[in-house]
Amino acid sequence: MNQFNYIRPSKQQAAIDAVAKDGNAKFIAGGTNLVDLMKRGVMAPQKLVDINRLPLTKIERQGNALRIGALALNSTVADDRQVRERQPLLVQAINAGASAQLRNMATTGGNMLQRTRCPYFYDTAMPCNKREPGTGCGALEGINRMHAIFGFSDKCIAVHPSDMSVALVALDATVLVSGPKGDRRIPFTDLHRLPGDAPEKDTTLEPGELITAVDVPDGPFTKHVSYYKVRERASYAFALVSAAAALDLDGTTIKSARLAFGSVAHKPWRLTAAEQMLVGKPATEETFRQAAAVAMQGAKAFKHNEYKLKLAPNTLIQALKTAAAA
Amino acid sequence: MKEPNKQIGAGMNRVDGRLKVTGAATYSAEYQLPGMSYGVLVGSTIAKGRIKSIDTRAAERAPGVLAVISHVNSPKVPGFVPTGKDPSQPQTVGGRLKVFNDDKVRFNDQPIAVVVADTLERARFAARLVKAQYDQEKHETSMEVGVKQGFVPTQAKKNPKSGVADYVRGTADAYKTGAVKLESEYVIPTEVHHPMELQSITAHWEAPDRLTLYDKTQGTLATRRDFAKEWGLPEENVKVIATFVGGAFGNALHSWPHESAAIIAARIVNRPVKLVLTREQMTTMVGYRPHTWQKIGMSATRDGKITAITHEATGQTSSYEEFTESTVQQTRMMYTAPNVNTRYRIAALDVSTPIWMRGPGEATGAFALESAMDEMAHLLNIDPMEFRLRNYTDKDPEKNLPWSSKFLKECYQAGAERIGWNKRQLKPGSLRDGEWLIGYGMGVGTFGAHRGSSKANVRLLPNGTVLLQSAVTDIGPGTGTAMTQIAADTLGLSPDKIRFEWGNSQFAQAPTQGGSAIVNTVGPAVQEACLALKEKLRTMAGASNGAFAAAKTQDVVFADGYLTLNGNPTARATYADLLRQTDNGFVTVESKPDGEHNKNYSMYSYSVHFAEVRVNPLTGEVRVSKLVSCADAGTIVNEKTAGNQMKGGAVGGIGMALMEAAVIDDRFGRYVTKDLAEYHVPVHADAPAVDVFFVNQPDPHVNALGTKGIGEIAIIGVAPAIANAVFNATGKRIRELPITPDKLI
Ligand SMILES: Cc1cc2nc3c(=O)[nH]c(=O)nc-3n(C[C@H](O)[C@H](O)[C@H](O)COP(=O)(O)OP(=O)(O)OC[C@H]3O[C@@H](n4cnc5c(N)ncnc54)[C@H](O)[C@@H]3O)c2cc1C
């Protein structure tokens, strides 16, 4: 680990200024991702700006949305009564991630901004454009079993590992940020970017921008929801593929749907076309299969992740079946 | 079942349980010595070649750094003579890696330097600053290539009777002409031991010719021998302490480069050096279960009699050391087949040396043999248990000897009842619970009931307690507890009057903990030593007391403060008096296996594992919903710790079957699965409550205790039981482990 300075401001503006002014400074929240990366030599910030003193832990109603503070812990959010009542999909997604111990440390903002688990990114002796632009993508012709089937570029085929974010993208959440140039709202779909020619940039956040909260709008998705995560063991593993499905049913007819995949792309992968296709259809396995086929349009596999072309649609079908039966 | 006043069999709590759960047990990384310094290893970033230059200047200038040692400045280690045969490693031709001895790189992440600093953090920081330039050579790490280049191990060439030499009974490859036949290939990937405790050592030169090691090792004496030899010291000048070992599963059976590096470093900085591997280094520096390819050819008559089996295996090894294991052994003796042949090869790749991992070769071999048994039963449309019973053998067909004991049928029966085998359908895919398919499978395990020689020291203390000491380690099975129970029963003392100390090379000689041989070996030594102590005390008491002189050893009773005699409570000799006489309530015995028994009997432990699995046909997820493990392991010394062994082995088997795989990117010869987020081991949610059954019948020939060994059979046969259950659930035969979801959709 590198030597670094550490500050813990209690004013939001001071935190923002500290990072905005110093290209080598980073916010630290729970530290469950950043510290790991520092220990492995993947990231070497010279200054850590600890934001845990900022008053960003609240979960409250704000108009027709639940506003979840950036420092609300994953476990707190998943246990919150309002979140459980209004956004059960989010609860399922959070609880599908990491372990109880980690969720007790991990924050809402940090979770969204956790970095890829691509092994080439993690090993400083291997090429990785995301870690060290210009060194090449180790995964492209390497062991790419965990990698993207959508939205990748020849510079990077990594996937975003967050489970929580898959639910947030499906639920039309909005991220609230505050930065050197003021406050702004970012639709969740626009928070993460595709790798393109600049895979070193995970998100559309500007330097010094601090996530302060996420708004999750109320909706009809309080019952028929499922976050289905397929992994190599029963718990505590990153997804091979995950699918978030939320249905609004009128009897057996689908009034509206929200769908997203996790671990298939550089960002949580919203499936709008498949959602639209479901509207007005009966909630049957046949319908779900058709939606899954739509969802998979444009998918392309690499040497070791061919299985995702089948596992992804199957997982979506399973999520839809589970949601419909819930 | 606990008999009155008997400790053996009882589920006595671990003698060190309290120390462990309160954190009071000291593991090797936890010793604090005055002047302690900390070593961090720098690994190579290529798999093969030479170090052209190594720049250590920045590291040397970093705060707190005491030394940076590489091949450039490493001292001459007397034992690092040119590679030749190493007689201390009977199964390992070639030699251990001689760390920092030359500029050669033999595997990726090979230690090329050690940075020593006054704190761990400073050492770790400085280690990052070491930069090496290489002349890279073309490496080969792919087992696909390796399999084509397999060769007969040197050991087999020298000794055609060796367990790894080719074997033929009847006609070789006779399966090819059988009535019903199959030929299947099986692959297990590299698996890593990953015990919870990281490998660690503190090396302390107490004088220029006296070395003390607080080391994670399974054998204090093997470690002492290796490093005494490395430094040209008399063995008694090297002290090895390994009181608590936080699991090892085999990876502390060998001496490794990090140990040599810490010793070299301590010599240079003239302070104790503590060196703890990182989790990532656990993949590359302390062995692993080798990637192994296998082929089984089998033929049977239509009514289910096996006529021939051929078992071929090729396992991975390093370029500098020949590692072998008993992958094909059980095929020679498990079933009645008249024609059996085995061929075992190894493939040298540019990787570090493997080492036995729990159940070692047998666990690998059982995956092939027991999967093939299931495949054949399916071909014949016979229940797999019935098929095994039709080929049951009442004597060892390999050695042509009677079994010392064999209660495998009892295991079949108990396991079948417990799992509900009668629910199993012959036709795969017949059972469902909602969306999930259900299947049942079984797998058999066996492992030699080995017994070596061992000594034990026992001493009566004036307060009436008895102290026993043995160099043996306890890597988790509860050795200290079992030995306490054996001593208690032999002496007729309550366990709290007995102190068994272990894990120190200065105690009485005992073998390395491994191969399920410790209770078999050290148990009788403890028993004999306790009997000898009783007899010695009786004789001593007899010098002044006729009643003792006339009595027999078994009549001696330890009472509170004095020795007395069964049936003659007035006979008394106080401990204080006895010990004052000669100060010699001390006995050492050496206990050896009985040569006659070994010549006349074939000795094995057995296990049968039954699995019920659920498979989601859409997502390919597999859940083991029930696991029953039955063992014929002779006398069970402690139901609790023995049961714990079986459960741990079963969970290890779930890992082997469903998730464990260390994967190398062959372009770089570098692992991509180096931490526990990428290398999956089972979590609680993967493991059902394992139902354990012991036959608990003493073996009359292995030793006087009747034990046969448990640790290895606990895992051997579990992976095929699960793979067979997956087949029964889905009709999909997965011959390459692990059975991850992608293979089932
Ligand atoms: C072993 C292991 C297993 C895991 N398994 C899973 C899993 O299955 N699924 C899953 O989804 N996750 C998993 N995780 C990841 C875990 O969810 C993340 O580490 C965690 O959510 C990160 O939150 P944090 O608060 O600790 O972030 P930190 O590590 O503190 O920060 C992460 C990043 O976010 C930035 N940041 C933090 N807060 C803000 C803010 N408010 N504004 C701007 N930037 C900010 C930091 O600068 C840093 O770059 C796992 C982690 C581990 C270690």
Q: Best mutation site among B105, B129, B136, B621 for testing chain A: the one with the most A CBs within 10 Å? A: B621
Q: How far apart are CA B258 and CA A286, in angstroms?
A: 59
Which of A120, A122, A311 has the CB atom closest to B620's CB atom?
A311
User: Which pLDDT belongs to residue B88?
Assistant: 45
User: Which pLDDT belongs to residue A159?
Assistant: 98
Q: Best mutation site among A232, A289, A317 for testing chain B: the one with the most B CBs within 10 Å? A: A232
Q: Best mutation site among A37, A123, A233, A322 for testing chain B: the one with the most B CBs within 10 Å? A: A233
Minimal-distance CA residue of chain B relative to A124: B45
Measured in angstroms, how far is the CA atom of residue A162 from the centroid of ligand 1? 8
Domain residue limits, chain B: 17-25+451-590, 31-138+196-248+252-286, 146-191+289-450+599-743
Q: Which CATH architecture group holds B146-191+289-450+599-743?
A: 2-Layer Sandwich (3.30)
Minimal-distance CA residue of chain B relative to A304: B742
In B319-418 the beta strands, taken as DSSP E runs, fall at 321-322, 339-349, 395-396, 401-402
| Closest by CA position to B267, among listed B199, B212, B200, B198 | B212
Render pLDDT for A287-297 as a digit per residue (tens, 0 to 9).
999 999 999 99
Minimal-distance CA residue of chain B relative to A2: B125
Angstrom CA distances, A174 to A180, A184, A191, A243, stand at 19, 10, 9, 20
Residue B475 CA to chain centroid, in angstroms? 9
Nearby residues of B478 by Cβ (< 8 Å), 6 or more positions away:
B14, B638, B640, B641, B644
In DSSP terms, B457 is beta-bridged to B469, B588
* A235 with B621: Cβ contact below 8 A: no
Q: Is B466 exposed, middle or buried (CB count within 10 Å of its CB: 0-12, 13-18, 19+)? A: buried
User: Residues enclosing ligand 1, CB less than 6 A?
Assistant: A 26-34, 36, 51, 70, 97-98, 102, 105-107, 109-111, 113-114, 161-164, 210-211, 238; B 677
B236 labelled catalytic: no
User: Which pLDDT belongs to residue B209?
Assistant: 98
Q: How far apart are CA B697 and CA B708, in angstroms?
A: 10
| Residues of chain A positioned with their CB less than 8 A from the CB of B741 | 230, 232, 240, 307, 311
Edge to edge, the sheet with strand B431-433 lists B431-433, B436-448, B604-615, B622-632, B691-694
Ligand 1, atom 5, residue with closest C-alpha: A98
**Does any CB of chain A come closer than 8 Å to the CB of residue B672?**
yes
Min CA distance, B256 vs chain A (Å)? 23
3-state helix, strand, coil in chain A (%, to 5): 30, 25, 45
Nearby residues of A246 by Cβ (< 8 Å), 6 or more positions away:
A89, A170, A171, A219, A221, A224, A225, A257, A258, A259, A323
Query: What are the per-10-residue average pLDDT scores of chain B (745 residues)?
Result: 68 95 96 97 98 98 98 94 50 81 97 98 96 98 97 94 96 97 98 98 98 98 97 97 96 97 98 98 98 98 98 97 97 97 98 97 98 98 98 97 98 98 98 97 98 94 92 96 96 94 97 94 96 91 92 90 91 87 76 87 98 98 98 97 97 98 98 96 97 97 96 98 98 98 98
User: Which pLDDT belongs to residue B84?
Assistant: 47
Angstrom CA distances, A234 to A190, A238, B685, stand at 31, 11, 6
User: Which pLDDT belongs to residue B588?
Assistant: 83
Render pLDDT for A35-75 as a digit per residue (tens, 0 to 9).
999 999 999 999 999 999 999 999 999 999 999 999 999 99
ipTM over 0.90: yes
| Residues of chain A positioned with their CB less than 8 A from the CB of B621 | 230
Q: Is B619 exposed, middle or buried (CB count within 10 Å of its CB: 0-12, 13-18, 19+)? A: buried
> What Rg, from alpha-carbon coordinates, does chain A have?
19
Farthest CA pair distance, chain B: 84
**What CATH number should be reported for the domain whose range is B31-138+196-248+252-286?**
3.90.1170.50
Amino acid at the residue B692: V
**Tokens 């790894």 sit on residue:** B164
- The answer to which of A237-241, A307-311, B376-380, B462-466 has the lowest mean pLDDT is B462-466
**Residue A34 Cα: closest atom of ligand 1:** 29
> Helices (H), strands (E): how many in chain A?
13, 12
* B683 with A120: Cβ contact below 8 A: no
Render pLDDT for B448-498 as a digit per residue (tens, 0 to 9).
999 999 999 999 988 889 999 999 999 999 999 999 999 999 999 999 999
Nearby residues of A99 by Cβ (< 8 Å), 6 or more positions away:
A235, A236
Q: Identify the H or E element spanning A5.
A: strand A5-7
- The DSSP output letter for B28 is G
Q: B95 and B86 in contact (C-beta within 8 Å)?
A: yes
Q: Which CATH architecture group holds A224-325?
A: 2-Layer Sandwich (3.30)
* A233 with B618: Cβ contact below 8 A: no
Q: Is the pLDDT of residue A1 over 80?
A: no
pTM score, whole prediction: 0.97
Domain residue limits, chain A: 224-325
3-state helix, strand, coil in chain B (%, to 5): 30, 30, 45
User: Which pLDDT belongs to residue B82?
Assistant: 58
Nearby residues of B692 by Cβ (< 8 Å), 6 or more positions away:
B628, B629, B630, B631, B643, B646, B647
**Tokens 């060190």 sit on residue:** B16
User: Which pLDDT belongs to residue B90?
Assistant: 42
User: Which pLDDT belongs to residue B559?
Assistant: 87
Q: How far apart are CA B119 and CA A200, in angstroms?
A: 33
| Closest by CA position to B192, among listed B250, B143, B129, B234 | B250
Q: Is the pLDDT of residue A91 over 80?
A: yes
- Catalytic residue, candidates B312, B362, B370, B712: B712
**What CATH number should be reported for the domain whose range is B17-25+451-590?**
3.30.365.10
Q: B364 and B325 in contact (C-beta within 8 Å)?
A: yes
Domains B17-25+451-590 and B146-191+289-450+599-743 share a fold: yes
Q: How far apart are CA B191 and CA B503, in angstroms?
A: 27
Q: How far apart are CA B312 and CA B299, in angstroms?
A: 15
